[in-house]
Structure 1
Amino acid sequence: MKGRWTLKDLPPEVRPRERLARDGERSLSDAELLAIILRTGSQKETALELAQRLLYQFGGLQGLHQCSLAELAEVKGVGMAKACQIKAAIEIGRRTFESARTEKVTIRSPSDVARLLMSEMRYLDREHLKAVLLNTRNMVLDVVTVSVGTLNASLAHPRECFKEAIRQSAAAVIFVHNHPSGDPTPSPEDISLTRQLVEAGKLLGIEVLDHVIIGEGTFVSLKERGLMS
């Protein structure tokens, strides 16, 4: 009787490990990458099928990131060992991102801002408002969270938005927040807050260069749209 299914039971041309070696990791789907981490499935499904089921059950990689270890371990076919493997892989990705962000990055365009924060902010289930603090050469000094809002609203006061910029003697700041809906179109509230921040920055001598809204794989620059004033 057939025991536990593994990736070796799949045809060679569709095995995730072989595809990664042949085509590179960027060519693999989320399910294929997760299947490599899982390594084995169960008597009823391959690792790839288990990976697909997990992504469906938790709503993608974002859900796997946000669920608890206990919740993941309770899923049939997973258990504590596989749950730890998944959580460890996600944490490695998070630490890699954090490490890269501490390196000196120069912001030249809204695309640079999106590259800096897209992978972190596109999966958040609440609106997070962040401030990218810059020196006189537009090099990133720090990225700080200003506020965490509700499902569709970022709760922030201009006073709090500049607190860290003042403390770290930033010359300029770019504000960034996400839309959990995935649509980065600015709301009237986004535009109003941006204009308040621009005026507050003028009083403090800290230039507000832009306000970037992150969506699902896309973004909008209020500066590019002429909505800063």
Structure 2
Amino acid sequence: MSIKHWPEGERPREKLLQLGSTSLSDAELLAILLRTGIVGMSAVDLARHLINRFGSLSALMSTNLSELTAVKGMGIASFTQFAVVKEIGRRILHEDLSSAPLLNRPQIVADYLRLQLGGEQVEVCIALLLNQQHQLIQTIELARGTVNQNTVYIREIARLALLHHAPAIILAHNHPGQTQQPSSADIEFTSILKQALALLDIVLLDHFIVTRHHTTSLAALGLV
């Protein structure tokens, strides 16, 4: 049975209008975005299938073009829709982080970092450059893939902080293997970076390890 034949109160769009977006499941929200299903599947059925296949709504929004278009009914239009939704969410959070001190908004920082890094399939490191009030100035990608030359890496972080007049930074990188805990190399690098930046009167506020579903703060663990 197609959605148009469902009782009105059970149709995702009507349910949203009556009860608000928070009343909808992930599949129902996605169904509104998809608008139509495919032969044998309503939009909600297709949405459930996609979420089950990719593991979560977040993973689905972060999937690449070839993986998504391998699913029946999914094409370039769907991929661009998902990419746009994710980018809009990221930009909204970026605006929020630019308007108030980050240290007062730990959940928004965590959400922002998961949107930035949680879906990456290789290790990516970013720096959040902050002003004197610890509001976000800019997010800069520092490296993609494993970085072995730490001295050059630290020099680049310091250069960017000075270039953007950022007296404080937050470092973050993802663990594609979904390990939440910092490695010994993460801890050592954080210590070296903190000391190097301190010589320039730049404060390293935190270093986050990011997975698809979690963020781990080294500062919260007493490691910054």
Q: TM-score range by the shorter chain?
A: 0.7 to 0.9
Q: Does 1:186 align with 2:179?
A: no
The 3-state SS of whatever aligns with 1:43 is: coil
Q: Deviations over 1:1-31 (max 9, x none)?
A: xxxx532233444322233223322332332
**Aligned residue in 1 for 2:80:** 87
8 Å CA contact 1:113, 1:212 repeated in 2: no
**Aligned residue in 2 for 1:25:** 21
2:62 corresponds to which letter in structure 1? H
8 Å CA contact 1:41, 1:48 repeated in 2: yes
**Aligned residue in 2 for 1:51:** 47
- CA 1:171–1:189 in 2, change beyond 3 Å: closer, same or farther? same
Q: Does 1:169 align with 2:165?
A: yes
Question: How far 1:63 moved relative to its partner?
Answer: 3.9
**Aligned residue in 1 for 2:62:** 65
Match of 2:102 among 107, 118, 121: 107
Question: How far 1:175 moved relative to its partner?
Answer: 0.8
The 3-state SS of whatever aligns with 2:188 is: helix
Q: Deviations over 1:87-111 (max 9, x none)?
A: 2253144035225515434222571
The 3-state SS of whatever aligns with 1:41 is: coil
Normalising by structure 2, we get a TM-score of 0.81
Number of residues of Structure 1 aligned to a counterpart in Structure 2: 218
Alignment root-mean-square deviation, CA: 2.8
Of the structure 1 ranges 215-224 and 202-211, higher mean CA displacement relative to structure 2 is found in: 215-224
Normalising by structure 1, we get a TM-score of 0.79
Q: Deviations over 1:122-150 (max 9, x none)?
A: 22222221111112221211111111226
- Counterparts of 1:54 and 1:79 in 2: how far apart (Å)? 10
Identity of aligned residues (%): 33
Q: Does 1:134 align with 2:130?
A: yes
The 3-state SS of whatever aligns with 1:205 is: coil
8 Å CA contact 1:37, 1:86 repeated in 2: no
Match of 1:97 among 90, 93, 102: 90
8 Å CA contact 1:212, 1:220 repeated in 2: yes
The 3-state SS of whatever aligns with 1:169 is: coil
**Aligned residue in 2 for 1:209:** 205
- Counterparts of 1:52 and 1:131 in 2: how far apart (Å)? 35
Question: How far 1:79 moved relative to its partner?
Answer: 5.6
2:29 corresponds to which letter in structure 1? L
8 Å CA contact 1:110, 1:212 repeated in 2: no
- Counterparts of 1:210 and 1:71 in 2: how far apart (Å)? 34
**Which consecutive unaligned segments of at least 5 residues does structure 1 have?**
none
Q: Deviations over 1:43-92 (max 9, x none)?
A: 31211111222233344442453321x6645633x265xx5145225314
**Which consecutive unaligned segments of at least 5 residues does structure 2 have?**
none
- Counterparts of 1:136 and 1:55 in 2: how far apart (Å)? 41
8 Å CA contact 2:126, 2:143 repeated in 1: yes
